[in-house]
Amino acid sequence: MTDRSAGTADAYGTRDPDSLARRAGTRANPDNDQHFLVDDRVLDRLSAYLPEDADVSHVLEVGGGAGALTDRLLATVGANDPDPAGRVTVIERDPPFAAFLREEFADAVDAGTLEVIEGDALAVDLPPFTACVANLPYGISSEITFRLLPEGKPLVLTFQAEFADRMVASAGESAYGRLSVSAQHYADVEIVERIPKEAFDPQPAVESAVVRCTPRDPDYEVGDEAFFLRFVKALFTQRRKTVRNAIRNTAHISGLDRPDAVVDAAGEDVLSRRPGTLDPSAFAALAELAREHGSPAEA
């Protein structure tokens, strides 16, 4: 692989991932959930997966590492231009990598087109952002995704392939579950590319996938979003039971005071099914029935 980096502001979008890693002087540590995406072709495509009308005036990246994706995102927001149209914020937990990003992209930091936040993405305050493109640390995939989705912004995120398959699964499929319903509550979710493990350094044990989340309002109403998500979680802990038994067995999770009243109010066509056969709108209707008849406790 050729080192294309000039190390200057006019080269954003061209830095070689391997050369960046060498200059950083610290290898990615898989024990710290670090697997850096080093395939130029995949890196070059990631931001292009954002919806065509996405606002890229402030792009968020979670887990900047040695900066290969940061470099591409700076090009995406126009940092190569004298008067850039946007900016990038990177959240990086590892102090040596955060320091390296500030040094490697010092021109962008000085110009105000790059901010590096050193800290845990699950703990720091998320900055306002218009879109997010990130190669997420897989160990926090679920937690960080459900910090990002409620923001209602376009997301392009890499996940373990199995996690991505669960996000996009439809009712009745074996991969369909709580993750599917919860993610699809916030956005249209689709796998746009599958990535072999050879595209990472060090290589993870599993294949990966790129998921695009395009925000939209659901085609159903929920009166209490926190309860809806908690109710979905509860029923999927009993996914092999009928909905009738799942409602009765999980009141301690959903917070229902009167689960039997919910069962009495629901139709047999729903009660006799398994949770994995209910699409998100059916879950929403059942959750509203539960709120009306089951006196759910406050979240």
Q: Is 32 annotated as a binding residue?
A: no
Write the burial class of residue 159 (CB in 10 Å: 0-12 exposed, 13-18 middle, 19+ buried): buried
Q: Is 288 annotated as a binding residue?
A: no
Distance CA 194, CA 224 (A): 35
Q: Is 92 annotated as a binding residue?
A: yes
Q: Is 78 annotated as a binding residue?
A: no
Q: Is 135 annotated as a binding residue?
A: yes
Torsion over CA of 124, 152, 137 and 128, rounded to 10 degrees?
-30
Q: Which residues contact 76 (CB under 8 A, 6 or more apart)?
A: 13, 47, 56, 59, 86, 133
CA atoms within a 13 Å half-sphere pointing along the CA-CB vector of 179: 18
Q: Is 293 annotated as a binding residue?
A: no
Helix (H) or strand (E) holding 291: helix 280-294
- Do the beta carbons of residue 130 and residue 55 sit within 8 Å? yes
Q: What single-letter amino acid sits at 96?
A: P
**Residue-by-residue DSSP string for 140-203:** GHHHHHHHHGGG---EEEEEEHHHHHHHHPPTTSTT-SHHHHHHHHHEEEEEEEEE-GGGEESP
Name the E strands within the chain.
36-37, 58-62, 87-92, 114-118, 131-135, 155-160, 187-195, 200-201, 208-215
**By three-state DSSP, how is residue 256 classified?**
coil
Question: Which residues define the annotated binding site for S-adenosyl-L-methionine?
Answer: 35, 37, 63, 92, 120, 135
